[in-house]
Structure 1
Amino acid sequence: MVNRSQNVYIIAEAGVNHNGSLDLAKKLIDVAAEAGADAVKFQTFKADNLVRKNASKAEYQTRTTDASESQYAMIKKLELDEEDHQILIQHCDHRGIQFLSTPFDFDSVDLLVHKFNVKQLKISSGEITNAPLLLKAARSSKPIILSTGMSTLGEVEQALAVLAFGYTEPDSMPSIEAFHFAYCSVEGQQALRQNVVLLHCTTEYPAPFEDVNLRAMDTLATAFGLPVGFSDHTSGIAVPIAAVARGAVVIEKHFTLDRNLPGPDHKASLEPDELKDMVRSIRQVEAALGSPLKTPAPSELKNISVARKSLVAARTIREGEIFTTENLTVKRPGDGISPMYYWEWLGKTAEKNYEADEKVRR
């Protein structure tokens, strides 16, 4: 579960890359656990509740699957039933990684919340205008990670208003006015801060780098005062690493066992070694972020005297001689008088003899 005071929460997005195979799904869990991800995420849905029979596919789906097949037929083969969920959750427990899933309908929310008591819910970008589902999710009282792909700032605010109402008004009749009132209330804002993480996202597979707009993470954080992460659909691992450097508290990334497998999302997913590289790089970056204080790091202290310089005699100097730019210079090591005092020494009288390269002393 996301802990905002600890490390970046890394979600390895298995999604539907199990291709309807329980064995493949378990292998994906193994890969995510071995990579060091915090959670592995699947998708929970019933095709009959999710899509009309004649709904067309997205452009990227027609490129990676049978173009003549309907969206309904494609996703029907990718459903995970209750028993599948039980097996996968148990396998996650065995591998020490959190099970996470995105529900797409009321039945799926009930399954995840009431049957399996998941710790949190992930809501996809496509559901950000699905007020009934948002309300259902919030009234489960579970924390929510909300992706914001394809959204305007106003649409994100409307979605948050529904969530605020759901968290604070478990029995009241929903309405646009009630959502607005809940969002503007102290209780509603507090509920959002306690329960919601926003994910910036570009909903294209793969997403063009020029469409990512990582700076929008800052806009979301400023506008709503909520922790912000990044759900990545670009190729490679550079962008999620950059997102961590910009302050992302959650990273979500699709992965697969093999990009050449059939299915809608494999082509835009990381393979196992790439997932490991991403997790390792994120951990290195968050360690490097450190403190905002500009002070010498403990590892630097031993190098200060070696790298810095001191005031030294440029040539032999006799007692009573005046220090000048010709006989006073600056050289390593920095275990003597700092060169910051160079000008204060010019014009002073030497109180002892100095050999060339000898440190001057007070």
Structure 2
Amino acid sequence: MTDSADRVLIIAEVGVNHNGDMALAKKIVDAIATTDVDVIKFQTAVPELLMSVSTPKAEYQKATTGEAQSAIEMIAELQFTADQFIELKAYVESVGKVFLSTAFDHLSLAFLSDIGLRLFKIPSGEITNLPYLRDVARRADDIILSTGMSQLSEVDAALSAIVSEGFPRERITVLQCNTAYPSPISDTNLRAMVNMGRTLEVMYGYSDHTEGISASVAAVALGARVIEKHVTTDRNLPGPDQHASMEPADFALLVSTIREIEQALGSPDKRVSESERINIPIARRGLYAARDIAAGSVISEDDLVALRPEAEVSPMAFDVVVGATTSRSFDRHEAISLSGLVVANDASSA
């Protein structure tokens, strides 16, 4: 999904924070376009294919949008037309980012597929929707599966449904997610993210609904390959998800911190870095004469001291040097040299 195996895919989830206003949608895009985010994501739905007219609002939606309007009316007001989504896709791509939108029904899946999307994000609420899972598997090149409100067995069943359509498991990323807006930090459960990836043999990541950046930062340190975070220009704007979203300055901090962590994680190989190599001679020790040593002396432990800087003979050769005979004298604090010793065993490893 990204050009580098070491790069975390960062998704800015605008969702419906545009409130059905194209100007606001573009304003949000502009506000985060200067960050090193990879994907800017929205939501696409045909309301009557998503919910019945009697579907109640979630409690957080009631708290943020009131109860006078029904859930289906709220969703309808937050949707763009097909032409508007095409315009928005072009705008996102014009600022050098990948356009993505989560489809909440089969018609929306078909539309997004028709306009060129090959990466599909399955929202948490669809994890038990078998026909939907199959439809995504038949259209996608890469799949991101959110797992809010689910148990491991349900995630496993969803993956099995996708893979049974011939979709390669290695192109699926599961996201740990807690479906609450905002989500309590105590319900983050990042260990479950790691466990899902290892147990189900898929890449893993994190969809972050908490306030702040700490949960996403920790997820990256634990190996998350994808991070998703809701964004808005102003958390005080009307709308169901604004209060659980991040404003541009904080989002920029999140992105830059993740990019720093990518560099800090580095390689699993323990090796000497170029930046520290110059300090080896100064920081490491060599074997030196602890006092004046006459030629022909048998070196004892008390004749030796390990001092900086690094010298010809390493302190790791201490046992080799003790008991050797000097072929010349050594002054106090003079570095011990192999040419001045006669040793019983080969000291070339020193």
Partner of 2:125: 126
The answer on 1:269 being equivalent to 2:245 is yes
How many angstroms does 1:64 deviate by?
A: 2.3
CA distance in 1, matches of 2:322, 2:148: 65
CA distance in 2, matches of 1:214, 1:32: 26
CA distance in 1, matches of 2:68, 2:325: 94
Letter in 1 for 2:26: K
When residues 194 and 349 of structure 1 are mapped into structure 2, their CA distance, relative to the original with a 3 A threshold, is closer
CA distance in 1, matches of 2:301, 2:320: 12
Partner of 2:320: 344
CA distance in 2, matches of 1:3, 1:192: 19
The answer on 1:257 being equivalent to 2:256 is no
CA distance in 1, matches of 2:146, 2:55: 23
The answer on 1:244 being equivalent to 2:204 is no
Q: How does 1:1-362 map to 2 (within 5 A)?
A: 1-2=1-2, 5-114=5-114, 116-165=115-164, 167-168=165-166, 191-362=167-338
CA distance in 1, matches of 2:4, 2:306: 48
3-state secondary structure, aligned to 2:10: strand
Letter in 2 for 1:103: A
The aligned length equals 338
Spell out, residue by residue over 1:128-180, the C-alpha distance to the aligned partner (whole angstroms, 9 max, x if none). Answer: 11122222222224432111111111111221232234x34xxxxxxxxxxxx
Letter in 1 for 2:201: G
Spell out, residue by residue over 1:108-130, the C-alpha distance to the aligned partner (whole angstroms, 9 max, x if none). Answer: 1121112x121211110011111
How many angstroms does 1:355 deviate by?
A: 2.5
Partner of 2:347: none
CA distance in 2, matches of 1:47, 1:154: 29
CA distance in 2, matches of 1:316, 1:273: 65
C-alpha contact 2:285 2:314 (8 A) present in aligned 1: yes
Give structure 2 stretches of 5+ with no counterpart: 339-350
3-state secondary structure, aligned to 1:357: coil
Letter in 1 for 2:264: A
Give structure 1 stretches of 5+ with no counterpart: 169-190
C-alpha contact 2:286 2:307 (8 A) present in aligned 1: yes
C-alpha contact 1:259 1:270 (8 A) present in aligned 2: yes
C-alpha contact 2:11 2:39 (8 A) present in aligned 1: yes
When residues 153 and 2 of structure 1 are mapped into structure 2, their CA distance, relative to the original with a 3 A threshold, is farther
C-alpha contact 1:4 1:227 (8 A) present in aligned 2: no
Letter in 2 for 1:286: E
Letter in 1 for 2:218: A
CA distance in 2, matches of 1:156, 1:299: 44
How many angstroms does 1:332 deviate by?
A: 0.7
CA distance in 2, matches of 1:86, 1:24: 16
3-state secondary structure, aligned to 2:174: strand
CA distance in 2, matches of 1:333, 1:194: 50
C-alpha contact 2:221 2:265 (8 A) present in aligned 1: yes
Spell out, residue by residue over 1:254-308, the C-alpha distance to the aligned partner (whole angstroms, 9 max, x if none). Answer: 1111222222212222211221111111112122222211121222222111111
TM superposition score normalised by structure 2: 0.90
C-alpha contact 1:32 1:39 (8 A) present in aligned 2: no
When residues 347 and 194 of structure 1 are mapped into structure 2, their CA distance, relative to the original with a 3 A threshold, is closer
CA distance in 2, matches of 1:335, 1:209: 52
C-alpha contact 2:118 2:140 (8 A) present in aligned 1: no
When residues 222 and 74 of structure 1 are mapped into structure 2, their CA distance, relative to the original with a 3 A threshold, is same
TM superposition score normalised by structure 1: 0.87
CA distance in 1, matches of 2:270, 2:6: 22
